[in-house]
Structure 1
Amino acid sequence: MLEFSKRSNTLEQSAYKYSLQDIEEPNLYRDLFPYESVPRISFNHRVVPMYVPDDIWITDTTFRDGQQSQAPFTVKQIVDLYDLLHRLSGPNGVIRQSEFFLYTSKDKEALEKCLEKGYEYPEITSWIRATKGDFELVKDMGLKETGILVSCSDYHIFKKLNMSRAQAMDKYLAVVKQALEYGIKPRCHFEDITRADFYGFVVPFAIELRKLMEQTGIPIKIRACDTLGYGVSFPGIALPRSVPGIIYGLRHHAGFPSELLEWHGHNDFYKAVPNSTAAWLYGASSVNCSLLGIGERTGNCPLEAMAIEYVSLRGDENGMDLSAITDIAEYFKYEMGYTIPPQTPFVGKNFNVTRAGIHADGLLKDEEIYNIFDTGAILKRPPLVAIGPHSGLAGIAHWLNTYFDLERKGIKVDKKHPVVIQMKDKVDEYYQEDRTTVLSDEELEDIIKSIDMEFYKAISSRKGIKKWV
């Protein structure tokens, strides 16, 4: 039978009607996930069409999934980071939502203080257990949406919940109905979707959710959770690991619109960013991330990475203040004691530092030669030059000013400064001893300390740096 599709404006064969496959033994996809060996990537060479939504955005899980990976944040830290998320998002809601816990008195205090800000973006949402008390808590806090866990792989249904697929679906649907009765928009977290039976459970369950949505008129979101980072975005990947296949299937077979589809990916196999991008490209409006990628095990998709990716795909910032990325990184470092690996893109200490001697020479002549974009103007992080035998007084002065951010502190130096001159003498001594590599930042700091400790204390002080928000 043929039907005209308004989505593609073409005649299409009627889609197969998927129903729950209530099997007796769990399907663990042992050919893909042998456990005693590295998981396999399987191709079926089926390619689904790209379908980029009219609007794409980012959601934040720093205060939920991210916070689970380290010492709990203080109320002040949550409020300050929420302010920074608001600044990064801009007025158009590129960072559309941020989810919070509601359990402890500290959780509630932080949420209330953030609500008092009155920001439109990011909208505050919650994540709860499926209990009556938690639903009442969401309603009492005045929140419009909450996340609900609905694990969908047989690993979770059979092994964790000790249920059949039919029992799990009945339980999940009852929970969703309860949320709808409270007038709360449910966001269903399809946990472990990249190990789930897509046509035997995921699509049939999603179809039942769509029916509930049509009956009540209340939107229901699906968050496709790549809980262990198994998702793969290459063309022709077979389900259940195919990110394009999952997003396409939820749209095409389950009938969910893009604006109700969200991707949540972990980074266990270094694929969090490309998988999130693929989710956008194949029809999910939303990707869920955390600041600096913090989260369980290897973490979530870094929010700052997707902010940059957004600009790459859309062609402009859409109101985002990307310089907030640097302030967020500094806040984590100085206010929270968080160590950011130095090579981390956009936020690491060395992400735009040129160390090779020939590269440093090129950067000094024209930074565009060896810098990814104008990191000084966009991220407030001008490129740094590592010091070598040919850096000269100007190179050392440049390093001092940029490494210690002296212009922002109002104590910028030039090549005639006595410490710069003495540093050059010390650097020359290193290379008189047949050294060939550039000096590390730590070595240069030691040189300054040996020359003038009071000067070092003055330039390394954070006095004069403007407030984070």
Structure 2
Amino acid sequence: MLKTGSHIQINDTTLRDGEQAPGVVFTLAEKVAIARELAAAGVDEIEAGTPAMGDEEVEGIAAVVSQNFCTRVTAWCRLSETDVDAALRAGVKHVNISAPMSRLQMRVKLKAEPDEVAARVTRVIGYAREKGLEVALGGEDSSRADLRDIGLIAGAAAKLGVFRFRFADTLGLLDPFSTYEYIKRLRDETDLPIEFHGHNDLGLATANTLAAIRAGASAASVTVLGLGERAGNAPLEEVAVALPRTADARTGVDPTRLMELCDLVAKASRDSIPRAKPIVGADIFTHESGIHVAGLLHDVRTYQGLDPAMLGRRHKVVIGKHSGLAAVRSVCAAVGLDLDNSVAARVLARVKNIAKTTKTLVPDARVRSVARQELEGAETRDMAPARAELRLHP
């Protein structure tokens, strides 16, 4: 289990084309810029690419390596000596060599049984170690594997001095409960440090990653904004912020740099960040509900469990169909407009009608304009002379 306050290594695979969303291609300049931001944010390890993809990919990895970041830069390799040779051309000192762990993938991809895969792991990792590379063993499709097979193959790799085993939920099939049990049981099969790599097909990649860490994994494989095959991977920003709250553990990631990092990756991906995206979405610290706003104005802790200041952000009150008197008064008070109950009620009624008609939020400037109109109307009514009723008697 985790030690209190222990450091969890965050390994980012954002730059590896094989883990990007379909159609996403980073230029060399974008790769270097993203790697620079990852390093500045405090990510422990950057998996910079797959050298076997060709000379252009090798060049991109080499460009990242040449920046001499304090962050470790690795390359992803299949279980073959030619992939190792390509990694050497890229100039990395660390590689992740991946091998299938489920018997289905062993037989389909390698036409091999577990003992034969263990022998091949011994051969290829031995080759990489002879070339001076530090090696992590990647366990593809680990979540569908027999843990005894993982123990056999990881044991063969451990004899060669690999520094970590990556347990990959390649198809995103796990839930947090089964993830916890898998990792806990895996500790009985290998003494290697465990990294968890989760896919998000069921929307559980973040939860599974946190569960794996609670069960004893010491590293998390993540991507910025969850970029990855199919439904993507566990998002770096979610895991880094949630981890101290769920596992009493910490990472080296600086939360105040996450917005800038995610904006950069979104721009390079030619995509936008969903407004409700956890941690970095534009609306996650935005409040409209009258009940919520009334509570926030007294004490932000009533309806905000995550401090926006931790991320270099602030909470925001917006006006719309669901707003209440407290929100209208607050928006107007910010510019010195003091509304009594009757005026505030009229302003709120008009503002709600605007929101219903336009099906959008009402800008603060328009709310204040309506308030000024109502204040002027109230003043005019107060100044109007009393009317006398004259009756004629026969």
| Length-normalised TM-score, structure 2 | 0.78
Q: Give the direction of change, closer, same or farther, for the CA distance of 1:317–1:384 in structure 2 (3 Å limit).
A: farther
Q: Give the direction of change, closer, same or farther, for the CA distance of 1:159–1:129 in structure 2 (3 Å limit).
A: closer
CA apart distance, 1:173: 2.6
1:79 aligns with 2:17: no
CA apart distance, 1:319: 5.6
Distance 1:177 1:77 in 2: 34
Code of the aligned partner of 1:299:
G
SS at match of 1:62: coil
Q: Which residue is 1:279 aligned to? A: 212
CA apart distance, 1:105: 4.4
| CA shift digits 1:197-220 (9 cap, x unpaired) | 222x2212222222333xxxxx34
Q: Which residue is 2:341 aligned to? A: none
CA apart distance, 1:367: 2.6
Q: Which residue is 2:390 aligned to? A: none
Q: Which residue is 2:375 aligned to? A: none
CA apart distance, 1:437: 11
Within the candidate set 176, 186, 200, 1:233 is matched to: 176
SS at match of 2:166: strand
Q: Which residue is 1:381 aligned to? A: 313
Q: Give the direction of change, closer, same or farther, for the CA distance of 1:202–1:324 in structure 2 (3 Å limit).
A: same
Within the candidate set 179, 186, 197, 1:243 is matched to: 179
Code of the aligned partner of 2:164:
K
Within the candidate set 367, 371, 381, 2:300 is matched to: 367
Distance 2:264 2:332 in 1: 27
Q: Percent identity?
A: 26
Distance 2:173 2:258 in 1: 28
**Structure 2 gap ranges (5+):** 338-345, 368-394
Q: Which residue is 1:167 aligned to? A: 116
Q: Which residue is 1:152 aligned to? A: 101
Distance 1:351 1:57 in 2: 27
SS at match of 1:150: strand
SS at match of 1:59: strand
- Greater per-residue helix proportion: 2
Code of the aligned partner of 1:381:
R
Q: Give the direction of change, closer, same or farther, for the CA distance of 1:395–1:330 in structure 2 (3 Å limit).
A: farther
CA apart distance, 1:126: 0.4
Contact 2:81–2:124 (CA under 8 A) maintained in structure 1 = no
Distance 2:222 2:215 in 1: 18
1:210 aligns with 2:158: yes
1:61 aligns with 2:13: yes
Could you say what the CA RMSD is over the residues aligned between the two structures, in angstroms?
3.4
Distance 2:332 2:63 in 1: 45
Q: Give the direction of change, closer, same or farther, for the CA distance of 1:437–1:382 in structure 2 (3 Å limit).
A: farther
| CA shift digits 1:295-326 (9 cap, x unpaired) | 11111111111211333357686664211111
CA apart distance, 1:340: 2.2
Q: Which residue is 2:385 aligned to? A: none
Q: Give the direction of change, closer, same or farther, for the CA distance of 1:437–1:262 in structure 2 (3 Å limit).
A: farther
Q: Give the direction of change, closer, same or farther, for the CA distance of 1:105–1:357 in structure 2 (3 Å limit).
A: farther
Q: Give the direction of change, closer, same or farther, for the CA distance of 1:378–1:316 in structure 2 (3 Å limit).
A: farther
SS at match of 2:75: strand
Distance 1:233 1:389 in 2: 39
Code of the aligned partner of 2:11:
T
Q: Which residue is 2:378 aligned to? A: none
SS at match of 1:247: helix
1:110 aligns with 2:60: yes
**Structure 1 gap ranges (5+):** 1-49, 90-94, 214-218, 235-241, 399-413, 417-424, 449-469
Q: Which residue is 1:6 aligned to? A: none
Distance 1:271 1:368 in 2: 27
Code of the aligned partner of 2:9:
W
Q: Give the direction of change, closer, same or farther, for the CA distance of 1:289–1:362 in structure 2 (3 Å limit).
A: same
Q: Which deviates more, 360-369 or 321-330?
A: 360-369
Within the candidate set 137, 140, 144, 1:191 is matched to: 140
Contact 2:44–2:252 (CA under 8 A) maintained in structure 1 = no
Q: Give the direction of change, closer, same or farther, for the CA distance of 1:438–1:393 in structure 2 (3 Å limit).
A: farther
Q: Which residue is 2:41 aligned to? A: 88
Q: Give the direction of change, closer, same or farther, for the CA distance of 1:284–1:446 in structure 2 (3 Å limit).
A: same
| Length-normalised TM-score, structure 1 | 0.67
- Matches for 1:288-327 after TM superposition, within 5 Å: 288-312=221-245, 320-327=253-260
Contact 1:394–1:415 (CA under 8 A) maintained in structure 2 = no
Q: Which has the larger radius of gyration?
A: 2
Code of the aligned partner of 2:293:
A
Distance 1:373 1:67 in 2: 29
